[in-house]
Amino acid sequence: MTMHSFHRPSGRALAAVLMLTAAFAAQAQSSAATDPRGRWITANGNLEVELAPCGTALCGTVTKVLGNRSMAPGGGDMQPADGRPALGMTLLKDFTPVDATDPSRPPTEWAGQIYNRENGKTYSCNMSVSTTGNPAGELLLRAYVGLPLFGKTQRWVRAASDN
């Protein structure tokens, strides 16, 4: 009776496989963490916005109304210039990747428009996701007129999962 011997991988080979697996997992997590799609709570905590594909771009639609605080200093009750109900309103639209030249790398910044229902105006906007200080991520929205240099950045937090 012949016994077959199986070659066990060396410690180095096993370590290399584990490191490679960890690298792929980290990249997948990093890509997921910087993906802006999903639900976000606006900077003033008033609205939950679902960021999802709409055609070839990303758009953000209000899925829950959580409050009615103004973005102005003091944060009293907001008197929106737009009298339409917030629920179902599209606040973010036409967001496309800024640099999509390398299809093997996921985009890290998008450009589109943001609507401010408090004053009824639409602004140019750059969007990215930061995981610095918040593993769940923060949506950074830089609204501006003319040049981003003269804009204002809002930080939206990822909504808690309903699971």
User: What's the pLDDT score for residue 6?
Assistant: 45
User: What's the pLDDT score for residue 83?
Assistant: 87
HEC per residue, 75-132: CCECCCCCCCCCCCCEEEEEEEECCCCCCCCCCCCEEEEEEECCCCEEEEEEEEEECC
Decide if pLDDT at 29 tops 60.
Answer: no
Q: What is the pTM of this model?
A: 0.74
User: What's the pLDDT score for residue 25?
Assistant: 33
pLDDT tens profile 91-131:
999 999 997 777 777 788 999 999 999 999 999 999 999 98
pLDDT tens profile 33-73:
689 999 999 999 999 999 999 999 999 999 999 998 887 77
Structure-model confidence comparison of residues 40 and 18, the more confident one: 40
